[in-house]
A and B are shown apart, each in its own frame.
Chain A
Amino acid sequence: MRLPEIDRGDGLTNRLLIGFISTVSGMRLPDAARVAFYHKNFFGTPMGAWTQATMRGPSMWTVGERELMAAMVAQWNSCAFCVGAHGAVAAKAMERLLVDAVLADFRSAPISEALKGALEFLEIMTLRPMELSAEHAEAALRSELTAGALKDAMAVGTLFNIITRYASTLDFAMPSAKEFHRAAGMLLKRGYAR
């Protein structure tokens, strides 16, 4: 963590809360949650509400599919923390083997054509956004994907092009696989809003 104040919490209440949650959960509170507690009125609260709506609100995609999209955007942005965190949530909602297959090569993974089409669009959106054109959107819509579902996928792509960037910039500490698994259970149960 490159900003120590986020690590320890701003203000006595947040410091106590971070310490309490870490003690009760038996693991260091992940940096993503520490950011959510930091400078809340500026970023944590609106970002939490936005993330909750996108990842847990009404959507054409299941929670597992959205978490998988998040993990893929993280992979394209070389954010190991977010790949680990959202891959673990997807694995809990779907299957670990399927998540690993998608992360290794989504084009050959046994997923729906609609999800494949969405991921192909998200890949360009993430890596080469200025190249995006109607042709890319039309290609996605030909893969059994509705315009509404594509828009929902774009919302996940937008969100995780933000989250991965501040995670990398702040240099989030990497939890162990066991800790990611435990944190994933909390994210599935409680969601993102703080």
Chain B
Amino acid sequence: MEAPYDDLACQIGEAAWRVTNAQVASVLAAAGSEKAAFELIAAAATGAGLLRWQQAIKALEETSDAPS
């Protein structure tokens, strides 16, 4: 992925509270529309959430009390 997209997506995954105005502005400039910038933000946030779901379910399934 190109720099401004990758920088923002990684920042959202690792520590979204540290995202800056400049990071969002760079993505907006590169993407060319607010909807495209929003799609990247929503996708990066969703990815971070689903990674946690995957890890949590894996942990539960590996227990002896795992639901079938």
Contacts and interface: CB of A to CB of B under 8 A. Distances in A.
Contact of A165 (B38, B48, B67): B48
A133 B49 CA distance: 17
Of A39, A125, A157, A161, most B-chain CB atoms within 10 Å: A161
A167 B49 CA distance: 13
Interface in A161-191: 161-171
Contact of B45 (A125, A130, A169): A169
A10 interface: yes
A147 B67 contact: yes
Contact of B24 (A3, A43, A125, A159): A3
B67 A161 contact: no
B67 A158 contact: no
B35 A39 contact: yes
Contacts, number: 125
B41 A170 contact: yes
A121 interface: yes
Interface string A2-17: 1111100010000000
B51 A43 contact: no
Contacts of A162: 45-46, 48-49
Interface residues of A, number: 46
B45 A166 contact: yes
Interface-centre pick from B15, B51, B53 (highest chain A CB count, 10 A): B53
Nearest to A131: B55
B38 A39 contact: yes
B47 to A, nearest CB: 9
Contacts of A132: 55-56, 58-59
B1 to A, nearest CB: 16
Contact of B56 (A10, A38, A157, A171): A157
Interface in A24-56: 38-39, 42-43
A59 interface: no
Contacts of B59: 132-134, 136-137
12 contacts: A2-B24, A4-B34, A125-B56, A126-B52, A147-B65, A151-B60, A154-B60, A161-B48, A162-B48, A166-B41, A169-B41, A170-B41
A-B interface, 9 closest residue pairs, ranked by CB to CB distance from nearest: A162-B49, A165-B45, A134-B62, A168-B16, A78-B17, A165-B16, A158-B53, A5-B34, A161-B49
